[in-house]
Structure 1
Amino acid sequence: MRLRFGRLAPAGTATTRQRVVRLALVGGLLVLALLLLLATCGGGGEEDDAGPKEPVRKSTAPATQLTVPTAYTTRRGWELVDTSPDYALSRTTGRLAHLVRTGEGEYRLRTIDTETGRAGWSGDPWRPPAAAHFPRLLTVTADGQEYFVTWSYGKVGENAPAPADRIVSLDVYAVEDGGRQRVEVPWPSAPTVTATGPGIVIGDGGATSVVVDPATGRIARVPAKELKYPAGCASCEQLTEVRGLTSKGLLVSGAREFWVQGGWFSRNVAPGGADRQSGVPTSVAPGLVLAKWQLAKGAKLAATHELWTVHDTETGRALASVRCHKPAIAPGQYPQAVVSPSGGYLVAGNLAFDLEAGKGFCFEDAEGSRTLVLASVTDGGTAYGATNVRNAADALAGGGFPLETDLSTGTTEMLSPNARMPGAVSAEGIGLFRWTDEKDRLHLIGYPRAD
C-alpha cells in the first residue's frame, strides 16, 4: 500500500543508523572529488517500507486527477492507493484512519493528517479472525475522547467449530497516540456493530446486545429483559431491536414505537401532526435518529404521505421534519443517515435536513417518485448525490447523473456527467473521493476546497 502525495509514499515509523565512512587518501583529483562527494551526502540506513522519501508538499497534486465539483481543487491534495474500503475520521484531530494489508492475512491500521496528507502513527500488524476480508472501521467518542475501532467476526482458530468458537474481535485505538487494546466477545451469529454513542454496541439484529467501553474494554451484557419496555406499549415487545446507544442507555425500537432504556419514549416526543404511536427509527447517526411517522388519523394527507423527523438521541426532541409520499412498496432497507462534520445538516436518500434552521426537504416529483439520492453533505450545507441511481453507493461509484443541492434554499444544480462526489468531508473541509483503477486497486483521494 502506498500513500501518494504527488509522487510521495506515506511516512511511517522508521529508524536510521548513521554510517561513518573513512577512506584513506590515495592521491589525485579523482579521489579528492570522491571524498568531497561523500562529505556532502547524508548517511543511509534502514527504513520501513512506508518510510518518508522527501518532505510532503501541500502544493503537490495527487497523481489521479478526477473530475470533481467546482468547490474542490485537484491541484493539491493527497492519495492513498490499494487501501481498505472503510476509513474513519476524527473530528478533533483531523486524522483519518485506514487499513492496509501487510502480509498473508495480516493488517495494519495507519493514520494520516487529512489537511496535509502527512502520515501519523501506525499500529502493529495483526491477524483478525476473518483474515480473508478487510476488518471494518468505526469512530467512537466517550467522555470527550475519540477512538478508532476495527472489528471483524469469525472463528477463534482454523479448526474451531461453528458457531461455538466464533468471536467479534475489536481493536480499539486512542486517536491521539495510537494506544491499542484488544477486546474479544464470544458471539454465535452474524453481528451488527455500531458506534453511534459513547460505546461500541454489538447486537444480533434483535433484543440481545453487549456494550463495550472503549476506554476500559469492559463488556456489559444487556439481556432483553433489561431493556425497560415502556408501560402500555404493546408494540414495543414486537420486533424489538437495539438500535444504538446514548449517554442515558440503549436506543431501542419495537414494531411501531421506540425509546431510550430508562429515558425518553417516542410517544412523548412525537412531532406535531404525527400519530404519536407510529414512530419507527430508520437510521441512527451519532447523537441523531431519523424516524418515520404516520400522519395523525384524519389528517388531509394521511393516506398518501408520511412525516420524516430527525430527533436528538439524548432528549428525543424533534429537530426538523418534512412530509414525503409513501412508497408504493416499502423498501427492504432504508438509506443510512449522513451528517455534516459539525452536525448541522443530515441527508438520507432523497431527504435532507437543516437542523439549525429546523427545515426539511423531500426531493420527489408531483407523483411522489424520488428524483435523487444524496450521499454526503458539507458544513456549508451543500449536499452531493445523483439522479437515476438506486442508492448512495451507486452515486459515489460514478453512476447516474451527479448533482449538488444547496440546503439553504433547496435548489439543485446538475454537474458534469463524469463528476465524482465526495463520499465524506473532513472537519477541515477536505473532500474524500473514491476511485478504482484498472488493476482493481481502491484509491482514496483528498482534494481541498478551491481557493
Structure 2
Amino acid sequence: MFTVAPISGLFLDIYAGGDDNKAGESASPTPTSTKTPKTSERTDGARVIARSGDTGKVLWTSAPLSILVEPEPPTLKVINTAGGEFVIVVRRGNTPDEALAKSAKVVVVDSFPVVGSGLEVAPTRHIQRFVEGRLDSSAVVVGNGGVLFAESSVGPLGAIEAGNSWDPVDGSNQRFVATTTKRSKCLDGLPCEVRTAPIELTSSGMLSLIDAKCDRIDFSDACLRGFGVSDRWNSEAVAPQGRPLGAPIAVTGTAVIAAWWQVTKRDTRPSVLYVAHDLATGAAVASTECVVEIDLAQNRAGLPLTAASSPDNRYVVAGPLAFDLSAGKAVCLGKDPLSKTVILKSVGDSGIAYGTVQQESAANHFVDRDAPPAVVSAPVATGEVQAFSADTSVPESIAGPGIGIFRPVTAPRDPPSTRIGVYPKSR
C-alpha cells in the first residue's frame, strides 16, 4: 500500500514487521532505530515510511502506530492543506485484549506532515473511533478539507446522512447532518422535498449531493437534483444546456468531474455529457460525451471514480475520461458500445495517460479471466490508445515530473504485488 505526494515529490508506504504482511503493508525494510522502544511502541506496530521519489532515500519513518489485532488493509492518502501536504493513514481492526480492557473494533486515523525527518516521527494528530457491527461498514472519507466519519451506511454516490468531520491538521471535530428543504416546484413541476447530504470535504468546502431522498440513482429517472460545494456554488447554476440532471463522479484538488443528462424514455439510452468543473467556482472547464455509463447506483463511501492529476495539475484522468484543464479539452476512451472500456489511473505533465483495459465489453461477455488485462497509454490531446504486451507495466502513479511508480506484473488471479519500482532508476 503506497501513495505519492506530488508537490513534495515523496513516496510513502506503510510497513508492518512481524505480521506476515497479512494486511497488505509494504514488505520493504525500515531503518533500524537506535531508540529503545517502549512497551506501547512494540516493533510489530505499523510504521509509515517516507522516501524521496527521486532517489529512493528514506527521509523519515514514523514511530510504531498503535497495535491492531487482525487488521484490515490500511489506506494512505496525501492531502494538500493550507499547512502543506499531509499523509492520512486509515486503519481498521481490533484493539488488543488486555488485563483491564476487552478487545473492541475500531477505526484509527493518524496524520503526518509529508515533509519531515527522523526515525521515530509521531503523528501530529490521532483519532480512534469505536465501530458497531462490521468493520467495513465504518465509512471514512478523506478529502483535502478533512476527514468524514459516517455514523451509518452511506447512500447513493456516497451521500452521508450524519457523522463527524475531523481536521487532521488542528484536530478539531464537528458534527454534521444532512438537511431537507421544501421546494414549491421541482423538475416535474410539482412540490418536493430536497435533501442536501455531504459526500466529501474538499479544499473549497463540503461537496454535497442534492436529491429528493433517492433510494437509487441512475440515468433513467429524475430523482436526482444535483450537487454543490458549500455556499460557493450549486449545479443548478452551472448545468449544461438541455441537461438539467447532474451527478458528481470524481473530485481532485482543483476540479469536480460530473455526469450530466436529460431524462428520456425508460428504454432510451440517454446522452451523457461528462464535465470538469472548477472546484472553487463551478465553472465548466472541459467536457466530452461518452457512451460509457458510470455506475451511479453504488452505495459506498466516496464517489464512483478515483481521479488522478498530473503533478502540475493540468491533466486529470478518471475511469475512461481524460481532461486537459488548461486547453479546455476532454476525451472519452470508450468511443462506441463495441469498444472495451479503458480505465486510466495515472497521467504525467506531458499529457500521456496510462491505464488498463476492462476484460468485458458490451459485445463480449465471455472473456478469459486468466488472461492478464491489456495495458495502454493515450495522449490526452488525441485520445488515441496504444496497447502494450501483457508483460508490460505502466505507472500506477506519477510522483513528480518524469518519475513513475510501477508495480510488477502478476497473474490475473494472484493478488497485486507488494513490491514497487521507480523509473527512472533511483540514483
* TM-score, normalised via structure 1 length: 0.68
Structure 1 segment 256-271 matched on structure 2, within 5 A: 256=224, 257-271=226-240
The one-letter amino acid paired with 2:13 is H
**Distance in 2 of aligned mates of 1:350 and 1:141:** 25
Residues 390-412 of structure 1: per-residue CA shift (max 9 Å, x gap): 69xxxxx9932222111122222
Q: Give unmatched runs, 5+ long, in structure 2.
A: 20-43, 155-159, 187-191, 212-223, 362-369
Residues 81-132 of structure 1: per-residue CA shift (max 9 Å, x gap): xxxxx21222232211111112355211111101001111111112344543
1:249 partnered with 2:205: yes
3-state SS of the aligned residue for 1:106? coil
1:384 partnered with 2:348: no
Residues 153-194 of structure 1: per-residue CA shift (max 9 Å, x gap): 3444549889xx643311111112245132223454623323
1:419 partnered with 2:417: no
- 115, 127, 132: which is aligned to 1:183? 127
Aligned to 1:78: none
**Distance in 1 of aligned mates of 2:294 and 2:174:** 42
3-state SS of the aligned residue for 1:267? helix
TM-superposed CA distance for 1:365, in Å, is: 4.0
Aligned to 1:87: 2
TM-superposed CA distance for 1:423, in Å, is: 0.5
1:314 partnered with 2:280: yes
Is residue 203–residue 253 contact of structure 2 (8 Å, CA) maintained in 1? no
Q: Give unmatched runs, 5+ long, in structure 1.
A: 1-85, 392-396
Shifted more, 213-222 versus 282-291: the winner is 282-291
1:431 partnered with 2:401: no
The one-letter amino acid paired with 1:87 is F
Is residue 155–residue 167 contact of structure 1 (8 Å, CA) maintained in 2? yes
The one-letter amino acid paired with 1:310 is A
**Distance in 1 of aligned mates of 2:344 and 2:242:** 25
- 59, 76, 83: which is aligned to 1:137? 76
Aligned to 1:342: 312
The one-letter amino acid paired with 2:227 is F
Residues 248-307 of structure 1: per-residue CA shift (max 9 Å, x gap): 531111342112233311111113x3422x111122233322111104889xxx954211
**Distance in 2 of aligned mates of 1:380 and 1:404:** 12
1:117 partnered with 2:56: yes
Larger relative contact order, structure 1 or 2 (CA cutoff 8 Å, min sep 6): 1
3-state SS of the aligned residue for 2:55? coil
**Distance in 1 of aligned mates of 2:254 and 2:293:** 27
Shifted more, 367-376 versus 324-333: the winner is 324-333
3-state SS of the aligned residue for 1:167? strand
Is residue 236–residue 254 contact of structure 1 (8 Å, CA) maintained in 2? yes
The one-letter amino acid paired with 2:148 is V
Sort the Cα spacing of 1:368 and 1:336 in 2 relative to 1 into closer, same or farther, 3 A. Answer: farther
Residues 1-42 of structure 1: per-residue CA shift (max 9 Å, x gap): xxxxxxxxxxxxxxxxxxxxxxxxxxxxxxxxxxxxxxxxxx
TM-superposed CA distance for 1:437, in Å, is: 7.3
Sort the Cα spacing of 1:330 and 1:260 in 2 relative to 1 into closer, same or farther, 3 A. Answer: closer
Structure 1 segment 162-241 matched on structure 2, within 5 A: 166-177=105-116, 178-180=121-123, 181-188=125-132, 190-203=137-150, 204=152, 205=154, 206-225=160-179, 234=192, 236-237=194-195, 241=197
**Distance in 1 of aligned mates of 2:161 and 2:182:** 11
Shifted more, 405-414 versus 115-124: the winner is 405-414
**Distance in 2 of aligned mates of 1:309 and 1:113:** 35
Is residue 430–residue 449 contact of structure 1 (8 Å, CA) maintained in 2? no
TM-superposed CA distance for 1:142, in Å, is: 1.8
Cα RMSD between the aligned structures? Answer: 3.5
Residues 46-65 of structure 1: per-residue CA shift (max 9 Å, x gap): xxxxxxxxxxxxxxxxxxxx
Aligned to 1:292: 259
Is residue 284–residue 337 contact of structure 1 (8 Å, CA) maintained in 2? yes
Is residue 246–residue 314 contact of structure 1 (8 Å, CA) maintained in 2? no
Structure ID, larger Rg: 1
Is residue 108–residue 125 contact of structure 1 (8 Å, CA) maintained in 2? yes
Aligned to 2:243: 275
Identical residues among aligned pairs (%)? 25
Sort the Cα spacing of 1:429 and 1:374 in 2 relative to 1 into closer, same or farther, 3 A. Answer: same
Is residue 405–residue 412 contact of structure 1 (8 Å, CA) maintained in 2? yes
* TM-score, normalised via structure 2 length: 0.72
3-state SS of the aligned residue for 2:236? helix
The one-letter amino acid paired with 1:447 is Y
Sort the Cα spacing of 1:92 and 1:116 in 2 relative to 1 into closer, same or farther, 3 A. Answer: same
The one-letter amino acid paired with 1:126 is L
TM-superposed CA distance for 1:369, in Å, is: 4.1
How many positions carry a matched residue from both structures? 350
- 318, 321, 324: which is aligned to 1:354? 324
3-state SS of the aligned residue for 2:106? strand
Sort the Cα spacing of 1:116 and 1:348 in 2 relative to 1 into closer, same or farther, 3 A. Answer: same
TM-superposed CA distance for 1:435, in Å, is: 2.4
Sort the Cα spacing of 1:330 and 1:187 in 2 relative to 1 into closer, same or farther, 3 A. Answer: closer
The one-letter amino acid paired with 2:247 is V
Is residue 264–residue 270 contact of structure 2 (8 Å, CA) maintained in 1? no
Sort the Cα spacing of 1:368 and 1:197 in 2 relative to 1 into closer, same or farther, 3 A. Answer: farther
**Distance in 2 of aligned mates of 1:139 and 1:328:** 25
Is residue 166–residue 174 contact of structure 2 (8 Å, CA) maintained in 1? yes
TM-superposed CA distance for 1:317, in Å, is: 1.6
**Distance in 2 of aligned mates of 1:305 and 1:279:** 12
**Distance in 2 of aligned mates of 1:329 and 1:242:** 19
Sort the Cα spacing of 1:128 and 1:150 in 2 relative to 1 into closer, same or farther, 3 A. Answer: farther
Structure 1 segment 34-45 matched on structure 2, within 5 A: none
